[in-house]
Structure 1
Amino acid sequence: MAASLSISPSEPLLVLLYRSFPSAFPSSTTISDTPNARSALTLPPGPTIHGTNTISTYLCQDIFPGATYSDIEHAEIGQWLTLSARLASPSGDANKVADLLETLNAHLSTRSTLLGAKPSVADIALYSRLAPTVAKWTPEQRTGESGYHHTVRFIDFVQNSPVFGLKLTEDEKVLVDVDNVIFVKKPVDPKEEKDRRKRERAAATAEAEGEKVVEGEKSKKGKAKEKVPETKEAVKDAAASAKPTAPKKEKKEKAPRPPKAPAKEAVLTPSLIDLRVGHIIQAVNHPNADSLYVSTIACGDPPGKEGTSEHEGETVRTVCSGLNGLVPLSEMQNRKVVVVCNLKPVTMRGVKSSAMVLAASPRPVEGEADDGHKGPVELVTPPPDAKAGERVFFEGWEGEPEGQLNPKKKIWETLQPGFTTTGDMEVGFDGAGVPQLGGEGSAAGAEGVKGVGRLVTKNGGVCVVKSLTGAAVR
């Protein structure tokens, strides 16, 4: 702890640090109890360290004792502190400030904090100096096509996350409306970006090699013209002097290969469907479809997997759900759900969706067309202790899921009618609802599975809905 540290000059950042982390300052440091307390910090006499960068770097380990910082990270913290000061400078050039904001926004596009996932005083400094500016931004500046989406998300993350634990009143926080998103930027897929660059390099190399080949062919043709005999006599002499060629050896006929055995068809079972616990980090209205939500969901995927992106240090999937108007947007925020993770990704009104959220709704009356969810609609909720990415399966139907379901085989469409809810509002699978399984809940490879198998985690926790019984789940 900085037992004898005296800080000068006093400014809002240091007051915010003292208010949130008083134990990192000398015990005799005080903060005045005034409406504008963030601008009145009284420090004890003692050695003075001038410059906020030096102060903040010095305090970093006291504020975040659980984090360790390398020399390179300390240097990076200092650089970001300098940048945050330049952003807050009233005399700064507008064009330079715009360039700095572009740099910051691009940096935060794949990171939750300035160091990636590790918190530092630099994050707090940037928040303290940039928050008043962000508060004045228009919706277009915040979430327009050229807006600073990632910077706004960073500001909201720092002011609300328990990782930082800032002591801010609601009036001091920047108001961020998650529903007011003008343009949804397509997440950058690291694998697709790498493949694109690889293709560009290959094309450039092929073009260069092609030019060399053309030049070489031209050179060969020129030499060939020089060697063409100019008279018939020369042709005859050349033919007479040519040596007879040896007869070609006959190729041995290859023995016919035995026919390949037909691929073994997978036994039809609900375990082919990759059902997992998903954590919805955030959900917004689809910019081009009134009936859709666009959710950012952590499904336990490894970094860099195709169809995923990075969000606040987590590997996530973008998922479109036709639940707008059926489930309040507030119920789609920061909650656990069950997702189908091995359907083929589809693009829905310009946004690529890489999974499907499971929800229950009443079954249609006999003779009535089934047009999907009509309401009321309830999200399938996994057990409270389930973690994002954890597999869930139907009791009695254990097995490994397919990597990706083949749309032509219609496995999901065939098995989905068996997804239901019980009288206890538990989600389950009733094999009797799927004629292809042979009726009464039994199938090849799963003899004896009868009745309804509940949707459970490995520890036996059951997935449920709020109130619907005998409902369709899709």
Structure 2
Amino acid sequence: MSYESSVSRLPSPLKDLVVTSQADVGKTDSDKAEVAQWIEKVAGGEVALPDLETQLVPRTYIVSNYLTAADVALYGALHPVFTQLQPIHLYPAVTRYFDHIQTRPSVLTAANALSPAFSSVSFDFASAPPIERKADAPKKKEKAAAVAEQVEPTVVAESKDDKSPENKPKEKKEKKKDAAAADNGGKKKEKAPVGGKVAADDAGEPMPSMIDMRIGHIIDVKKHPEADSLYIEQIDLGEDTGPRTVVSGLVNYIPIEEMRDRYLCNLKPANMRGVKSFAMVLAATSKDGKDGGVELIQPPPGCKPGDRVYFEGPDYENAQPLAQMNPKKKIFETIQPGFTTLDTKEAAWINPVTKSVHRIRTKDGICVAPNFIGASLS
């Protein structure tokens, strides 16, 4: 079904909101089709909050990396729900998404024109109850889809406990204090720096400072023998154990000669088509989507392998990162929608609640995207 047909099925004043906002209907044919599908779902009342919550955890917008008419339609459909219930603790990702969309200039202008039908909704995030994070039932490991979007030199978020198969503990049982030490990468817990906070565990709300990001140097790269879209890289992180093996889905976006001898950043480990990847490179995807290009985030000049990468701000820059992120907690997936590049092309995380901007940096300067403004980082 076409975009026009889908919009025509929306009830008033929701249809008026979508039309008045003049939001993008999609920059590519695939995006246009997805936008029409979402508006069709809204028109048919087929959007369920639990399903939407799951889909929005890793996303800023419902289609691609920019605001579309689908977001405006979803916002309008959700407006009566949040006006009456405000289920912040039940659907935190949907709440974050709703609040973000209602503050977009084009949406705000359209909503004001149709007031009071779409009056602004205020949220008391400070007094909202903490989110109860329950462990998921055991299941097969999922492939890290985010890797397919990684590109070039950027910041590396690493996992200290899982550097190589040989480093896994051999003992079946340990005393409680030994087990606690093992959970912290085999090291004793470090004291918080003076004036700083420590992210000693993953209790409470996810914070960007929980992610351990380091500068890495690609010393070798080749194509994955079993997957045409994947590179296998050897990345020096300044560790005594030697370089890490990293698998990145960048073949279709970055030529292999541009991957060699690059400095970058890494994330969590994962299995990629039979090859264990012990980190992930941080890349920027154009605001126009992958069709607009993907590029590696570049650290500032003078960086060395192993240098710490952190977020500006007193709450984050002196905090101790987690030794290893629990994939069930979805810490990175929760924080990632706030990753972007500013008008200066500087990499940053924008707090979805306070809208404060925290640039991503090392001691030598700010990490940047070579060409992209408003890019999504993953």
What TM-score, normalized to structure 2?
Answer: 0.46
Higher relative contact order (CA 8 A, sep 6+): 2
What TM-score, normalized to structure 1?
Answer: 0.37
